[in-house]
Amino acid sequence: MKQVWTIAKSTFRLLFRTGTGWGVLASVAAVAVLIFFSASGDDVLVSELQLRIRYALGFSTVLVSLSALFLACVSIRHDIDNKILHVITAAPIHRYRVWLGKWLGLLLFSLSGFLTAAAAIAVCATAFTANWKRPADNAFLAERVWRCHRVCRPARPSLAARVEEEYRRRERQAQLPADRPEWLIRNELLQEIRRQEQHLPPGESRTWSFCLWRRPTGTDHVVLRFTLYAEDGRQEVNGVWTVRAVDGPGTFSKQVRFFPYSHNRVAVPVEVVPESGRIEVTFTGTNTPYLIVPREAGVLVSYEEGNMVWNFARLFVAMAMHLAVVVAVGLTAGTAFTYPVAVFLSIVLYLLAIASGFFHNVVQELQWSEPSFLTALTGAVLRFGIWLTQGLGIPPVIGQFSEAIAIHPRDLLAVWGAGFAVYAVLAMGLGMVCLTRKELDRLL
């Protein structure tokens, strides 16, 4: 371990001795400041801060990751091409320790870049808040920014599962039209189910089921957050929200008046939530227009859990895991290929990884289109690309941190953990194997 740490310190110091490290850190800080003050929102302090922090942290993280990939390729190729690695391996030290030492040194530098971006954004946010034109808005910062909340979404089956269930039901009852192909029928069912989920006709009620996992502690209420749309955004909406415990006696009702497209909150006493955390939320409209409920963020339940410092610690751990894989991929590519090929391959993989959300949406749309050989081939290629790069993508924590949503390791690992583990094992394993088996003597 002492040998690994010695190589790590040498790698880290060399980056600053040559001036490269200072240049990268200055660039990261400059990008963070530029993006923070270039972004703009809806002229509300909390929303402005959340939007600016999200974009500034996202862009600076991408820059840190790309810099880590480039420096990893350059560092290992420089040591191999200039015979520096020959001198190191002449000593009684195993090559995998050399690889781990360089990986650790570059990881420490990448983390210093991320912390530099975070510090620059913190200074910008402090200055932005101090110079805000409406000082009264600062009263909302304590609840909406400095304190974090656990956000729960309604429990519902996937659209694909509901389409399959409805298709089989109509097939058993002989209700499927004989003059239409199966893919077109499924596509029509998809649109119909989407409308049923999102549309709320006048005078009707809709119920959503939530699972909070447990009754929240350390707070006296949970927050019901809702945003509903309507054709006429100026017509006031009247209705009643009812919260009922699924396996308990707790019930709470509140009449509300709000305008469409506005973000609204209702405080619900925590005593209503049972120990299991399972509740049902019902909205009943009274003289309401035709409403539309957004599927992902229309109705949410949240409760206070932790603060920004604790949330940043979790963000830092997640980003450390991400940068560890990024550095490992760069070192592996630099060990196995020549410098131009290594840089091109690693950066292309990373760009594909951060764009995987777009390709995932394309694959979903292809599932409901007319089947053909070209469609099947395109879907297979895109799915393979998503699978190949999913562990290299940025973990979905920057948006949560900027919106003061508590980052939960369980949720993060469920979405991102499997891909990260596979990529980490393969990248680090292949990198150490390639360096161990590389025939350095032929380069002498």
Together in a domain, 259 and 396: no
Average the pLDDT over 214-230 and give the result: 87
159 and 120, same domain (yes or no): no
pLDDT for 3 equals 78
How many residues does the structure list for the chain?
444
Question: Does the pLDDT value for residue 86 go beyond 60?
Answer: no
Return the pLDDT at 25: 95
Confidence of residue 368 (pLDDT cuts 50, 70, 90): low
Q: What is the pLDDT of residue 386?
A: 73
Task: Tell me which residue range forms the domain holding 187.
Answer: 152-304
Q: What is the dihedral of CA 99, 62, 294, 408, to 10 degrees?
A: 40
With contact defined as beta carbons under 8 Å apart, do 104 and 72 qualify? no
Same domain, 136 and 195: no
Question: What is the pLDDT at residue 68?
Answer: 92
Do 370 and 231 reside in the same domain of the chain? no
Q: What mean pLDDT is reported for the chain?
A: 83
Lowest mean pLDDT among 75-89, 137-151, 274-288, 299-313: 75-89
Task: Please say if the pLDDT value at position 367 is more than 70.
Answer: no
Mark whether 283 and 327 lie in a shared domain: no
Q: Which pLDDT does position 117 carry in this prediction?
A: 96
- Structural domain ending residue among the three candidates 304, 328, 351: 304
87 pLDDT more than 70: no
Q: What is the rounded average pLDDT of the residues 21-49?
A: 89
| Co-location of 432 and 291 in the same domain | no
pLDDT above 80 for 84: no
User: pLDDT by residue (tens digit) across 371-390?
Assistant: 667 777 777 777 777 777 77
pLDDT tops 80 at residue 356:
no
State the average pLDDT over residues 415-439: 78
Asked whether residue 178 falls in the same domain as residue 134, the answer is: no
- Of the two residues 60 and 74, the one the predictor is more confident about is 60
Q: Do 275 and 323 sit in the same domain of this protein?
A: no
Name which of 125-129, 236-240, 419-423 the model is least confident about.
419-423
pLDDT band of residue 107 (cuts 50, 70, 90) is: very high
Contacts made by residues 78-82, CB under 8 angstroms, sequence distance 24+: 80/335, 80/438, 80/440, 80/443, 81/339, 81/443
pLDDT (mean) for 80-96: 62
Higher-confidence position of 142 and 174? 174
Mean pLDDT of 269-289: 88
Residues 297, 194 share a domain: yes
Verify that 25 and 71 share a domain, yes or no.
yes
pLDDT of residue 27: 95
Model pLDDT, residue 181 = 80
- What pLDDT does 56 receive? 94
Taking only the tens place, the pLDDT of each residue in 300-351 is 998 888 888 899 999 999 999 999 999 999 888 888 888 888 888 888 888 8
- Arithmetic mean of pLDDT, 50-54: 91
| Residue that is last in its domain, among 258, 289, 304 | 304
pLDDT of residue 122 exceeding 70: yes
- Provide the CATH number for the domain around residue 160: 2.60.120
- pLDDT over 90, % of the chain: 23
pLDDT of residue 438: 63
| pLDDT for 421 | 83
Q: Is the pLDDT of residue 277 over 70?
A: yes
Residues 184 and 328 in one domain: no
Where a domain ends, among 270, 304, 338? 304
Number of domains in the chain: 2
Task: Give the residue, 138 or 293, on which the prediction is more confident.
Answer: 293
Do 298 and 311 share a domain, yes or no?
no
Question: Which residue has better confidence, 44 or 64?
Answer: 64
Average pLDDT over residues 357-367: 70
